Amino acid sequence: MRWSDRLAPQGYAYLVTAGGRATLACCIFADRANYRRYLDRTVAFFQARAGIDLAGARRFGGTGNVRLPATARCNGGGTLLAGEAAGFQDALWGFGLRYAMVSGHLAARALLERDPGSYDRRWRARFGGLIRASLVNRHFFSRLGDRGYGAFLRRLGSADDAREWLHHHYAPSTWKDLWYLLVRGAN
């Protein structure tokens, strides 16, 4: 993974290869109008660094949906949204598979118990604080710039236990809830 505002402003770029196939992504959070320029830079960067030929690649694109919704129900409350459709995704790294599975499970339980109204209460209790914390993390991370990204990665790399270090930064807290009230409209 590579962080650089030159490649992906306030976002990230990555290249994953397996069995002769590759996925290259350029996820940007700023200057979206110039997305093509950043994608071209990202392709050139990885071609030069990884020495791979991306000729004939199929391009695709999309948008993300990260938010803390007021409700994850629609159509009068009977349709329950799960995963990214509801906005359940980590705002800092973009991970959402666990949120998709857990929210799907919570939605199924609410429907099986014939209590769709309980779904919002269930997902808020399970990961509302995690999403708020990730939105605060994204707010601060997006202001680091290239030097700050490098410093962040060095701190992570020098941690005795990277997983524990990340857990500490992801954990909901009172101060993150207070920051969330300030940054929710800024992201």
- Kindly state whether residues 5 and 36 are assigned to the same domain: yes
Could you tell me the pTM of the whole model? 0.76
Span 70-86, pLDDT tens digits: 899 988 888 999 998 89
Looking at the structure, tell me whether residues 93 and 160 fall in a common domain: yes
128-166: pLDDT as tens digits: 999 999 999 988 888 888 888 888 889 999 999 999 999
Domain membership of residue 43 as a residue range: 1-63
Between the CA atoms of 155, 4, 24 and 26, what dihedral angle is there, to the nearest 10 degrees?
Answer: 120
- pLDDT tens, 33-42? 999 999 999 9
Residues 29 and 80 in one domain: no
Q: Same structural domain for residues 36 and 121?
A: no
Structure tokens at 153: 């990665």
50-71: pLDDT as tens digits: 888 877 788 877 666 677 888 9
From 63, 82, 110, give the residue that closes a domain: 63
Mean pLDDT of the chain: 88
Q: Is residue 23 part of a domain?
A: yes
State residue 122's pLDDT score. Answer: 97
Q: Does 134 share its domain with 164?
A: yes
